[in-house]
Amino acid sequence: MTAASKRTSCTRCGASLAADNDSGRCAPCQRAERDRIVAAPDVPRSFWSHEPLHQALADRHLGRVVRAYRHHPYHGRQPLPQATVAGWFGMTQAQLSRIENGPAVVHLDRLAHWARVLRIPVHTLWFRLPATPGDASAPADVVEVGPHLIRALRSADRQVGGKNLYSTVLAHLALFSVPAGRPPAVSPQVLMATAALHEMAGWMAHDSGDSTTSRRHFLDALALAVDSRDALLVAQVHGSLSHLACHGGNAEAAISHARDGLGAIAQEDAGALIRARLLALQARGLAAAGLTADCHASLHRAEAAFAEAAPPPTEWLSPFDRTSFEIESARCLLRLGDVTAALGILNGSAADRPAHRVRSQALARMLLATALVGQARIEEACDLTHQTVELTHGLGSAVVLDQLRHLALLLRSHAVGCPDVPRLLDRLRDTIRERRWVALPLPTA
């Protein structure tokens, strides 16, 4: 028996671990550590009286404050990496290094933003924060910081899931959002950045199992994208609404949103990648409606658009890679009952194992397991499901959890004929119980 299998309690807080959790950390402690990818942790009040940090604040040099913050013993034996804290600020590691080691920054908008990100107590600062967070700093910060922030949030979301990050996105929306009754002078860049954050919040709410909140964010994103007059962003948000409608069983709305998105980019030369995604989403709606020939035609057009696509022209647009495209295609084929064709697509996707695409790889594996059950290849389906459980420890995704529940239902009828199934069903039951925190309500905006 290995040391990992003997470990029964969390090495950080001492909580009991599930029998199949060999990570050494309970789910809350895993979430607390992973949240640091994109947001500063809550720290005790005594944190700010640590002498190096107190001196840096007295010197009125925020770069030194950041360095003292990173090296605070509260974070453990090793200082927080510059790259981690740079991600909180929406900048590169090299930029943060120059701030830490260069002359003191004097621009109030930057000082205010960084102080809020680190949650520095107001009484320790040598400058006054703007009374309304969005008014004084949002336009400059969104244009300069926005793309880096969006990139960092997307990267973290793929690894830890929307449930772990939704509060973080809400906090950034509070800092950068265009306020209600926005003036007509707001720049398109600010509108696009805020739309991108709302769309991201919508996806994270969806990944948390809250379709109502997800739809509200998507509709806010659509209104802002329309105001920005960016046709590609408008089309992308229609794609998000199409996915949500299809997930909720509304095939007609899914098809309608996909077609609205395609209409928005009909004259856009740079829209091939979004066009591919919208055509794949339209195919999902058509498959759900039972329109087999139309579904295959839409998938064929999507493949052609994907083959000619270039990377997204702006940071506000989400990437749509080969794995994402194959998952959409396989969903269509499984819905149409073409298990053999779906297997042909998914075998390659499920074999790919990039560490930064945890949720996508989990979904690919579960779709493949579903297809294998359809061909009565139960032992292979069980192996893939075990892999998915191991892959997704600490992943805050209700979508993944629902797929695990679906696999448990499919496998239950094979419990007598395959000796691997009862053990897997026990593991799935324990996993679903351990991850019940994913179903907790989201914080309000």
CATH number, domain at 346? 1.25.40.10
Domain interval for residue 93: 36-129
> Do 26 and 40 sit in the same domain of this protein?
no
Task: Note whether residue 425 is domain-resident.
Answer: yes
Listed residues 270, 301, 316: the one ending a domain: 316
Task: Note whether residue 407 is domain-resident.
Answer: yes
The one-digit pLDDT tens for each residue of the chain (445 residues) are 444 444 466 544 566 766 666 545 565 555 555 444 556 777 888 899 899 999 999 999 999 999 999 999 887 778 888 888 887 787 788 889 999 999 988 887 788 888 888 889 888 998 877 654 344 444 445 555 567 778 788 888 877 788 878 888 887 777 665 554 454 567 787 888 889 989 999 999 999 999 999 999 999 999 989 988 899 999 999 999 999 999 999 999 999 999 999 999 988 877 889 999 999 999 999 999 999 999 999 999 999 999 987 777 777 788 888 888 989 999 999 999 999 999 988 887 665 555 567 888 888 899 999 999 999 999 999 999 999 998 888 788 889 999 999 999 999 999 998 999 999 999 999 999 988 888 778 876 5
> Do 147 and 104 sit in the same domain of this protein?
no
Task: Note whether residue 240 is domain-resident.
Answer: no
> Do 179 and 274 sit in the same domain of this protein?
no
pTM metric for this prediction: 0.69
> Do 326 and 435 sit in the same domain of this protein?
yes
Residue 163: how many CA atoms within 13 Å on its side-chain side? 25
> Do 304 and 285 sit in the same domain of this protein?
yes
> Do 124 and 134 sit in the same domain of this protein?
no
Query: Which residue in the block uniquely carries the two structure tokens 């470990």?
Result: 7
> Do 347 and 444 sit in the same domain of this protein?
yes
> Do 400 and 366 sit in the same domain of this protein?
yes
> Do 306 and 343 sit in the same domain of this protein?
no
> Do 338 and 439 sit in the same domain of this protein?
yes
Task: Note whether residue 165 is domain-resident.
Answer: yes
Give how many domains the chain has, as a whole number.
5
Considering only the C-alpha atoms of the chain, give the largest distance between any 2 of them, rounded to a whole number of Å.
72
> Do 292 and 348 sit in the same domain of this protein?
no
> Do 331 and 391 sit in the same domain of this protein?
yes
